[in-house]
Amino acid sequence: MQFTVLGSGAGLPSKKRHTQSYILDAVDETNQYILIDAGEALQHRILHTSIKPSKVRSIFITHLHGDHIYGLPGFLSSRAHQGGEDLPLTIYGPKGLANWLDITFEISGSRLNYPLSIVEVGHKDCIEIDNFKVHVRLLDHNIDSFLYVFKENDKTGALDPDKLKGIGIEPGPLYAEIKKADVFEFNGETYRTSDFTGPDITGRKISVHGDTRVMAEPEYLSLIDRSDVIVHEATYLDGEQEKAHRYFHSEITSVLDNLKNIDYGALLITHLSNRYEDGFLNELAKELPSGVHLTHDFFEHPILRNSQENK
């Protein structure tokens, strides 16, 4: 599994940073990409990667500001001609998303050749997609903006071949049948499969924020605690906490202070204002704690199993 930042800039695009779009690559796990937000020039960003639009089966929109959605109609239209014919796609996002897309497609005369579902989400919803449960949490922005916490389902531990050999079962096709069952019979005896497997493998957890002020509520912090990856905006990087709060955004020092009492594997800082020069960003990056990254367009972060524990 991998998290890719296609667009890392805030508000206005620049020559080096496009606006917000992310890809959660779950191709190895569920044969799909999950797209989170769809900033302007999303299609152009994808052209520089190996991502196949036809394998995007779920899209999550954090909020309806233009820098997070203006690339969506173009992507949906192009997907129809990039192998997406007849392949269903579901978009999750705030109230108003369906109306905006309906009007956009009606006025532009656009037609899709695949089933499109639009699900408008709310605070504390829980969505199930393939191998994930996605928890939705309202953030603190000047319009409804959501946090999406992607929790991969736990996996049953691997079979212990030595234990199975101990009762006379040699490796073979029977192993697959045993793993699928809670109990199995062999030579007239009944056994519990759990007695022959290792510990369950904990699913990975990825917490992706839309635009927001820093939030310190215990319920919110508990929700993102023990994330393998946290993606959080920091539009302000130079100590302007009051300005960040006034404009419903976050400042990096406040973000770090707020998260210091929870556990996480990596913190990806995004939504960076284009007013910061490379020299400033490079110096700031040197001062950040281990595991905290100032992202850029095409930044990639692999999400390994147990990455939080191995921080």
**Does one domain contain both 41 and 100?**
yes
User: Residue 200 — very low, low, confident or very high, per pLDDT cuts 50/70/90?
Assistant: confident
pLDDT > 90: what percent of the chain?
A: 91
**Does one domain contain both 95 and 184?**
no
Please check whether residue 252 lies inside any domain of the structure.
yes
Instruction: For residue 191, give its domain range.
Output: 161-196
**Residue 209 above 90 pLDDT?**
yes
Q: What pLDDT is attached to residue 178?
A: 93
**Does one domain contain both 277 and 186?**
no
Is 86 a known active-site residue?
no
**Does one domain contain both 59 and 171?**
no
Q: 257: part of which helix (H) or strand (E)?
A: helix 252-259
**Does one domain contain both 51 and 170?**
no
Strand partners, 238: none
d(CA 301, CA 82): 26
User: With left for phi above 0 and alpha for psi between -120 and 50, is residue 124 left, alpha or beta?
Assistant: left
Mean pLDDT of 258-287: 96
**Does one domain contain both 151 and 22?**
yes
| DSSP label at residue 29 | H
**44 is annotated as contributing to ligand binding:** no
Q: How far is CA 69 from the centre of its chain?
A: 16
What tokens were used for 297?
A: 């367009």
**141 is annotated as contributing to ligand binding:** yes
**Residue 307 above 80 pLDDT?**
no
Q: What pLDDT is attached to residue 306?
A: 64
Mean pLDDT over each residue of the chain, to the nearest integer: 95
d(CA 192, CA 185): 9
Please check whether residue 188 lies inside any domain of the structure.
yes
Q: What is the pTM of this model?
A: 0.91
CB-CB contact of 43 with 35 (8 Å): no
What one-letter code names the amino acid at 206? Answer: I
**Does one domain contain both 30 and 83?**
yes
| Three-state SS at 68 | helix
**Does one domain contain both 107 and 173?**
no
**Residue 77 above 70 pLDDT?**
yes
Q: Report the domain count for the chain.
A: 2
**135 is annotated as contributing to ligand binding:** no
Please check whether residue 311 lies inside any domain of the structure.
no
Q: Which residue has the tokens 């990455």?
A: 307
**67 is annotated as contributing to ligand binding:** yes
Tens digits of residue pLDDT in 122-148: 999 999 999 999 999 999 999 999 999
Q: What pLDDT is attached to residue 155?
A: 87
- Name the active-site residue from 67, 144, 228, 297: 67
**Does one domain contain both 87 and 230?**
yes
**182 is annotated as contributing to ligand binding:** no
CATH number of the domain encompassing residue 88: 3.60.15.10
pLDDT > 70: what percent of the chain?
A: 98
